Chains A and B, each alone.
Chain A
Amino acid sequence: MSALAMKPKAQMGQTEIVARVVDVNKSFGTLQVLKNINLEIHKGEVVLLLGPSGSGKSTLLRTLNVLETIDSGEITISDELMGQRVTAKGLRPLRESRIAEQRRRTGMVFQQFNLFPNMTALENVAAGPIHVEGKSKREATAAAKELLAMVGLPDKGSNYPIHLSGGQQQRVAIARALAMRPDIMLFDEPTSALDPEMVKEVLETLVNLRRDGMTMIVVSHEMSFARAAADRVIFMDAGEIVEEASPADFFDNPKTERACKFLGQLV
């Protein structure tokens, strides 16, 4: 742990680990949804999580910011043990208020956007800094304006979510997560609820984020995005990581039968 505590500089790139998942298991009742998951995500890396529905990919993503708790194992984000604390009797769950603080390290984007409908786009983006970090309204609003410009919506700040298209809502949601300056962004099927013509604008936003060096885990079935922007593809099935490869290797030469079968079903 002491080696990890000394943060390497960004230019060391691939060597700095932002997220580490060690021997993670989770069950819902008798159904084991995560089976001994091990994973390391490096700084600036874009990882695509792929797999059939029910494979555990969304659950894995949600364990990273403790929206789901784990039954055993360890998850570390930027050297902080998430959701648990070390005691003499082993690992114990943290209090919810402490977990809330830890979640600032991660930004999450949901399939259904989940913007706050009673707030304007600008208020949505400023909500985290104001209500979580205790920043002044003026400071948070100024920063929120910049973020909205960054996702290509400089003039939509005063719109309520219902007056935005799905693609615009999702970009506001991305800006809202970025406002907390997370170490890693978690995308849970960010384009699955979008009309086809809006998928592109959201994926472009993700590509821009990658260019800025953001570390990202993306649960998605967007092949074009995977090929263009992912550094690594992780294929899950039945709660296990089945295959891990570069996008080109995975899509053109899948090694496992399960991956072949899955890819054959994709259009």
Chain B
Amino acid sequence: MWSWDAFFTYLTAETLREGAVTTIWLTVITMALGLVLGLMLAVMRGTRVRPLRWFGNFYIWLFRGTPVLVQLIIIYTGLPQLGIKLSPIWCAIIGLSLNEAAYLSEVVRGGIMSVAKGQYEAARALGMSPVKVMRVVVLPQAFRIMIPPLGNSLNGMLKTTTLVSVISVEELLRRTQYAVQVDFRVLEGLVAAALYFLLMTSIWTLIQGRIESVLNKSHRAAPDQGGATDLKLESELEGVSR
């Protein structure tokens, strides 16, 4: 039997709200760290220094080739065997960031590769040093291209954080599981949690749309001047992220 009372009790429960807040900041932190690490990996894979390239390729092979759940459990329950003991939340941040970096490095690489060769040449011809070429000309353009796949990843991360419930981090799912153990209204509790996730991903979609429209102001073409090619490129890149 479905109980609306129980459902609304869960929906307004402070414990679920707190869990949702944990989910949000865990998502933001792991995405930020993952992006920084991903940028470093992308640079490593683009250099002429072979050991760096090998490391970058090895890292991505390893982290994309194994389940993130297995990685999290290794960090949480495996590493103490080697004397490395970390709190659940640190295990979650480290595990999720390291894993996400492998995916985001591909997003970054795709973004950088999407910047036309002529842009590098124009910047170099003006006398910009390699660092300036990257910082002033390439990365701002790459970032615009990276927003859709990055947004896609953040949306995914909001939900992937539920995995850390198994290493006892009290995010939204774990809090819900605790809550339903009191009166065994499992269905109501989990549907309430699902609604929270739906709300979070919906809000993110709105935020992402705002960011895109701000960054796209330089590309909003008059109808007859193309711009369609840009859209095509972005949708192609979205496929890179997962």
Contact = CB atoms under 8 A, between A and B. Distances in A.
Interface of A: 65, 67, 96-97, 100-104, 106-108, 110, 112, 114-120, 127-128, 131-132, 160-163, 173, 176-177, 180
Interface string B111-125: 000001011011111
B140 A127 contact: no
Interface residues on B, range: 20 to 34
Q: By DSSP majority rule, is chain B's interface helix, strand, loop, or mixed?
A: helix
9 contacts: A118-B141, A118-B144, A119-B218, A162-B220, A162-B221, A163-B222, A163-B225, A177-B125, A180-B126
A114 B136 contact: no
Contacts of B210: none
A104 B141 CA distance: 24
B122 A115 contact: yes
B219 A117 contact: yes
B130 interface: yes
Nearest to B137: A116
A265 to B, nearest CB: 28
B204 to A, nearest CB: 24
B140 A132 contact: no
B127 A100 contact: yes
Contact of A114 (B118, B217, B220): B118
B227 interface: yes
B127 A103 contact: yes
Nearest to A124: B122
Given A114-B118, A114-B119, A162-B218, A67 B127 contact: no
Contacts, number: 86
B145 to A, nearest CB: 11
B122 A131 contact: no
A131 B128 CA distance: 7
A128 B129 contact: no
B85 interface: no
Interface of B: 116, 118-119, 121-130, 132, 136-137, 140-141, 144, 217-222, 225-227
Question: Which of B126, B128, B226 is packed against the most chain A CB atoms within 10 Å?
Answer: B126
A131 B141 contact: no
B119 A110 contact: no
Contacts of A106: 125
A160 B218 contact: yes
B118 A132 contact: no
A132 B132 contact: yes
Contacts of A97: 129-130
Contact of A176 (B118, B126, B140, B226): B126
A128 B222 CA distance: 28
B225 A127 contact: no
Contacts of B127: 100-104, 128, 132, 180
Question: Which of A104, A108, A117 is packed against the most chain B CB atoms within 10 Å?
Answer: A117
Contacts of B125: 65, 67, 103, 106-108, 110, 177
Contacts of A119: 218
